Amino acid sequence: MKKIETQEVAKIASLARLEADRATLERFAGQLDNILEYMETLHELDTTGVDPLYSPVQHPAPFREDSVHQAYTQQDVLGNAPESDELYFIVPKII
């Protein structure tokens, strides 16, 4: 029994806005299926009483003081945009 069908891989690709042809989707479906299969093996382990690991990093999140610091200008930020009018990012109409 397959854990993931090509159809589902196609859906995930479209959610991520990735274009892929049939052959690629099938290839990924196979790879993802292997990964899920391995997860199934891991799942056999009894983890009762073990907290879920959200991050392998052992220290807690550092905090920042609430102070304003401006390091970049409007031009810097807009400089990377494919299209702008020096005020706004311009994109294809959303609605």
Partner 1 sequence: MSAFEAVIGLEVHAQLKTESKLFCACSTHFGEKPNTNTCPVCTGMPGALPVINKKAVEFAAKMALAMQCRINTRSVFARKNYFYPDLPKGYQISQYEAPLAENGCVSIVSGGSFREIRIIRIHMEDDAGKSIHSRHENLSYVDLNRTGVPLIEIVSGPDLRSAEEAVTYLKQLRSILMYLGICEGNMEEGNFRCDANVSLRPLGRERLGVRTELKNMNSFRHVHKALEYEIQRQEDLLSDSEPVIQETLLFDEDSGTTRSMRGKEEAHDYRYFPDPDLVPMELSREAIAGWTAELPELPPAKMLRFQEAYGLPEYDAGLLTAERDLADYFEATVALGPPPKVVSNWIMTDLLREIREKDLVLSRCAFTPERFASLLKLIDSGKISSKTGKQIFPELLLQDLDPGTYVQEKGYVQISDDSELTRILEEVLEENPKELAAYKAGKKKLLSFFMGQVMKKTKGQANPKLVNEKLQELLK
Q: Kindly tell me which of 45 and 72 has the beta carbon lying closer to partner 1.
A: 72
- How far from the centroid of its chain's Cα atoms is residue 86's Cα? 30
Contacts of 42 (CB under 8 A, 6+ apart): none
Q: Would you count residue 17 as binding partner 1 (CB under 8 A)?
A: yes
- Answer for which of 42, 45, 50, 61 binds partner 1 (CB under 8 A) is 61
| Site size with partner 1, rule: CB under 8 A | 36
Q: Is 90 in the site for partner 1 (CB under 8 A)?
A: yes
C-beta of residue 40 within 8 angstroms of C-beta of residue 2:
no
Q: Which of 41, 47, 50, 62 binds partner 1 (CB under 8 A)?
A: 62
| CB-neighbour burial class of residue 9 (10 A; exposed 0-12, middle 13-18, buried 19+) | buried
43 binds partner 1 (CB under 8 A): no
Q: Taking CB under 8 A as the rule, does residue 7 contact partner 1?
A: no
Could you say whether residue 42 binds partner 1 (CB under 8 A)? Answer: no
Query: Are 13 and 25 in contact, with CB atoms under 8 Å apart?
Result: yes
